Amino acid sequence: MSTVNLVYFSWVRERIGKGEEMLDLPADVVTVADLIAHLKTRGEEYEAAFEHQNVIRAAINQEHVDHAEPIAGAREIALFPPMTGG
């Protein structure tokens, strides 16, 4: 098991009901996609947040990554909707 800090923003944060949490990850959670699938098993708030999984963006240690990215060694993983700044 490894422990990672998860951070959520915008409607992902609102649907889950928190902005941040520490989570122990099972060994079979290898990629960002695995992580999202794992989170969806944690309750309906997570299911709601990740209902449309393909639109979710991810960052590892504050850099954008694809869902196929391995998460080994990540200190902080962020999951959020498409960005709307500017």
Partner 1 sequence: MNAPVIVRVQREDFDLDAEVSALRRERSDIGAVVTFSGLCRDEAGALSALELEHYPGMAEAEIERICHEAVERFGLQAATAIHRFGKITPGENIVLVIAASPHRQAAFDGANFIMDFLKTSAPFWKKEHHVDGSIGEWVSAKDADDAARDRWTRKP
Least distance to partner 1, CB of residue 57, Å = 8
Site for partner 1 (CB under 8 A): which residue of 53, 72, 75, 83?
A: 83
Alpha helices in the chain (DSSP H): 10-16, 32-39, 44-49
Pairing mode, strands 76-80 and 2-8: parallel
If one counts every other C-beta atom within 10 angstroms of the C-beta of residue 69, the result is 19
**Is position 56 an interface residue for partner 1 (rule: CB under 8 A)?**
no
Where would I find the beta strands (DSSP E) of 27-75? 57-60, 63-65
**Is position 62 an interface residue for partner 1 (rule: CB under 8 A)?**
yes
Least distance to partner 1, CB of residue 85, Å = 3
Interface with partner 1 (CB under 8 A): 7, 9-11, 59, 62-64, 78, 80-86
